[in-house]
């Protein structure tokens, strides 16, 4: 079956540091890939997505590139802010669009 593996947290960074959260996946065919974010006390929100190989999703300074050759979708941000402190989830949807698989989540803590 499909699976998503993301790096264990928590990740603790100082403000303005560079962020990378690794995500790799196992899936048949050509899934769509997503990063979701959950801020404290809130539900899940879509952060960015990519639907085919070499696509780059971007939003709010975050980026992730769909790398089929390495089955990865690593999340990056050049300069994090305290307000970026949240839990980040990598996910994929299969070809048929009817099965959603999440990674375990990575907590990011940004200190001033």
Partner 1 sequence: GAVVSQHPSRVICKSGTSVKIECRSLDFQATTMFWYRQFPKQSLMLMATSNEGSKATYEQGVEKDKFLINHASLTLSTLTVTSAHPEDSSFYICSAPTGGGKLFFGSGTQLSVL
User: Which residues lie near partner 1 (CB under 8 A)?
Assistant: 32, 34, 36, 38, 40, 43-46, 49, 51, 87, 89, 93, 96-100, 102, 105, 107
Q: How far is the CB of 93 from partner 1 (least distance, A)?
A: 7
**How is 68-97 classified by DSSP, letter by letter?**
TTTTB--EEESS--GGG-EEEEEEEE-TTS
> In this complex, which beta carbon is closest to partner 1, that of residue 13 or of residue 102?
102
69 Cβ contact list (under 8 Å, min separation 6):
none
> In this complex, which beta carbon is closest to partner 1, that of residue 24 or of residue 102?
102
Q: How far is the CB of 42 from partner 1 (least distance, A)?
A: 8
The count of residues in the chain is 112
């Amino acid at each position: 079956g499909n699976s998503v593996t993301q790096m264990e947290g928590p990740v603790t960074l100082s403000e303005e540091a560079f962020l990378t959260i690794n995500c790799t996946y196992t899936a048949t065919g050509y899934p769509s890939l997503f990063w979701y974010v959950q801020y404290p006390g809130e539900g899940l929100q879509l952060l960015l997505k990519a639907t085919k190989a070499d696509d780059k999703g971007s939003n709010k300074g975050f980026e992730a590139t769909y790398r089929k050759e390495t089955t990865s979708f690593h999340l990056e941000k050049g300069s994090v802010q305290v307000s970026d402190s949240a839990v980040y989830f990598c996910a994929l949807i299969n070809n048929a669009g009817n099965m959603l698989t999440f990674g375990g989540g990575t907590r990011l803590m940004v200190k001033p």
